[in-house]
Structures are given as structure tokens and as C-alpha cells.
Structure 1
Amino acid sequence: MNPAEVEFLAENNMVSIVPNFSFDRIFLISGEVGPFRAGLPVTVPVWMAINLRQRQKCKIIPPDWMNIEKLEEVKETESSSRYFTRMPSDHYMVQAHLLLQAAAEDMPRADDIRTALKDIWDMRMSKLRTSVDAFVKGGGSHARLDHLTAMEVCGVRPLLPHALDQMYRLQEAGQPLQATSQEYSQ
């Protein structure tokens, strides 16, 4: 998957909104949403929440995990563990980016949330680069990394296959030389 496809998947996550209009249920391919009653929270896909917010038809309620206290806790857990920890959402970075871009004024302490998310992202990408480096230097043929999100995998996808291909080519090029040098020493 590429980043655009990951974003598409993230837009299908559900988020709560408080509409300022009333309307019956809407039937979508993925299911139904609504009914919409002014002032009463309803759960809709992120893409719909953003569309309604852009048209000033609702206020977006941030997901539970998208508050500074929870994110600071996640950041602390991530920094104290040498392994990847489970994130509060499989699409935390994309979902937060979309919601903050469309409705930062609906989010308390939006700038602090952005900073905490960036810190978490940087920490996880550093761990991922370190893991990939150790994997490549160790000459491994397979690896298992738990709790990575799809967007984080997209971050190393351009590099890893190319690096592994180059390692394979170097190994293949070195094989005949080693065999030839062993023949001469006998």
C-alpha cells in the first residue's frame, strides 16, 4: 500500500460529531449513519465528519485517544520500551492529521497534540530505522515487528526492498570468489 491508500483506509474510521442540523439516516455502501439531530452526538466516518465540518454543519468531537494526557502517556510508554508498543489507533497519525487540519479549533490544545504526535512519530521512526539497520547488518532473511501501523511501514517500504536486493547481489557476487579462492588454497 502507498500513503494515499493508507489515508483512504483511515478516513473510514469512525468519529463522533455534534451536527447543527437534523436529517434522517443516510445509507452508504459501508453501512448507515444517522439519524442526525441538531445538538446530539452521532458517529460517522472521518471523511464525512471532515466534509460536514468544512461546510460548517457540525463540530467534531476528538477521539478519546486524541487528548494531550493520553498522548503523553503513550509517548512515555513508547520511550521506555525498546519494542514497538500498541498505538491507540491503527491510523493514529493520519487520522490526527486529517482531524487537526479540518477542525483544529474543535480540539482542545491542538498545538500540544500536534507536538506530542510528532514526538511519538519521530520516536517510532527512529526505532524502525534502528531495527532495519540491525536487520540489514545482521544479514537476516526475515523479521517480525509487532504493533507497526500501515503508515509507518510505508515509511521504510521504499528503502528496505532495495537494500535487501543489493545485499543479495553482493552475496551472489561474493559466492564465486569464495569458491574460487578455496579451490586455489587446496
Structure 2
Amino acid sequence: MDPSEVEFLAEKLFVSIVPNFNLGIIHLISGDVGPFRAGLPVRVPMWIATNLRQQQKCRIIAPDWMTVEELERVREEESQSRLFTKMPSEHYMIEGDVLLKLAAEDIPRSDEIRTIIKDIWDMRMSKLRSSVDAFIKAGGSHAKVDHLTTLEICSVRPLLPHALDLLYRLQKGPSSTQQASGTQSGSQ
């Protein structure tokens, strides 16, 4: 799975909007959405919210976790813990990115929120790189890591299997390394 596929999955999350139009229920394969009444909040998938916001047909209400106070608490908890902590949303980075790009004026203190989300991401990626480095140096063959988001897993997925494969080949001995390099150079 690549980041664009993760973003596709994240866009199915529901967010609240305040529409500025009236419309009945929309029947979708994934379920019904609406009715839409001007000025009354309604929960819709993020992909609908972003589409309506681009058309200036609604105002997006930030998710409960997307406040400076809540994110500062999460950042503090993450910085104090040696392990990964549970994030307020499985797709916090994508939700934050999409909503803050599209509807920054709808979200109070959006610049501070953007900075804190980036800080949390950087902290977690640093922990993840350190964990992968320690895992490889220890010669591990499997590990259990709790509370990683799908996007974070996708960020190490391209590197980790390749590194583990090379380590395995090195541990087997020089003949397997030569076979692998001969196979690669012969196929190029």
C-alpha cells in the first residue's frame, strides 16, 4: 500500500460540516448521507466534505482532536514515552493535511495545529527510524510495534523488507550473496 492508497482510505472517515444549502438524503453504496439543511451540522465522509468545501457549499468543523490543547497533550505524551503512543486518529496526518490545506480558515489556530501535527509526525518518525535501526542491528526476524498508523508503516515498508533480505543473505554466507548479485546483474 502506498501513501495515495492510505489517503484514499482516510477520506472515508466522517467529519462534520455546516452546509449552506438544502438537500435531501444522498444514497451512496457506502451508506446514506444527509439530509443537508443550511446552518445545521451534518456528518459526511471527508471526500464529500472536501468536495463541498471546494465548491464553497459548506464550512468544515474540525474533529474533536484537532485543537491546540489536545494536540499539545498528545505531543507531550509522545515526547515523554519511549514507545509509540495511541494517536487521536488513525489517519491524523492525512486528516490534518487535507483539512488544513482546504479549510484552514474554518479551523481555529490552524497554523499552530499544523505545526504541532508536524512535530508529532517528526517525533514518531524519529522513533520509528531508531526502532528499525535497533531491530536490524539486533538481527531480529520479527517485532511487535503498537500504535503505528498505516501511513507510518507505509513510510518504512519500502526499506525494511529489502534490508532484512540483505541481512539474511549475509548471514547465510558468501555463496548466497554472490548468487543474488549474479542474478541481479544477469537480469539487468
Answer whether TM exceeds 0.5 for this pair.
yes
Q: CA deviation at 1:66?
A: 0.5
2:32 and 2:147 map into 1 onto residues whose CA distance is 30
Superposition map of 1:116-127 within 5 A: 116-127=116-127
1:45 and 1:68 map into 2 onto residues whose CA distance is 23
- Secondary structure in structure 2 of the residue aligned to 1:15: strand
Amino acid across the alignment from 1:83? L
Superposition map of 1:32-181 within 5 A: 32-173=32-173
Aligned-residue identity in percent? 68
Superposed CA offset, 1:164-183 (max 9, x none): 0110111011699xxxxxxx
Gaps of 5+ in 1: 177-186
Q: Which of the pair has more CA radius of gyration?
A: 1
1:129 and 1:74 map into 2 onto residues whose CA distance is 20
1:15 and 1:132 map into 2 onto residues whose CA distance is 34
Amino acid across the alignment from 2:39? G
1:175 and 1:81 map into 2 onto residues whose CA distance is 43
Superposed CA offset, 1:98-136 (max 9, x none): 111111110111110110000000000000001101100
- Secondary structure in structure 2 of the residue aligned to 1:126: helix
- Secondary structure in structure 2 of the residue aligned to 1:44: strand
1:112 and 1:174 map into 2 onto residues whose CA distance is 53
- Secondary structure in structure 2 of the residue aligned to 1:66: coil
Q: Give me the TM-score of the superposition, normalised by structure 2.
A: 0.92
1:172 and 1:22 map into 2 onto residues whose CA distance is 67
2:117 and 2:154 map into 1 onto residues whose CA distance is 17
Gaps of 5+ in 2: 177-188
1:155 and 1:104 map into 2 onto residues whose CA distance is 26
- Secondary structure in structure 1 of the residue aligned to 2:75: helix
Superposed CA offset, 1:80-108 (max 9, x none): 00010000000000011011111111011
2:62 and 2:20 map into 1 onto residues whose CA distance is 17
Aligned length: 176
Task: Compute the RMSD of aligned alpha carbons.
Answer: 1.1
Superposed CA offset, 1:140-163 (max 9, x none): 110000000000001111110111
Q: Which residue of structure 2 lines up, in the alignment, with residue 180 of structure 1? A: none
Q: Please list every run of at least 4 consecutive aligned residues from structure 1 whose deviation after the TM superposition is greater than 6 angstroms.
A: none
1:138 and 1:11 map into 2 onto residues whose CA distance is 38
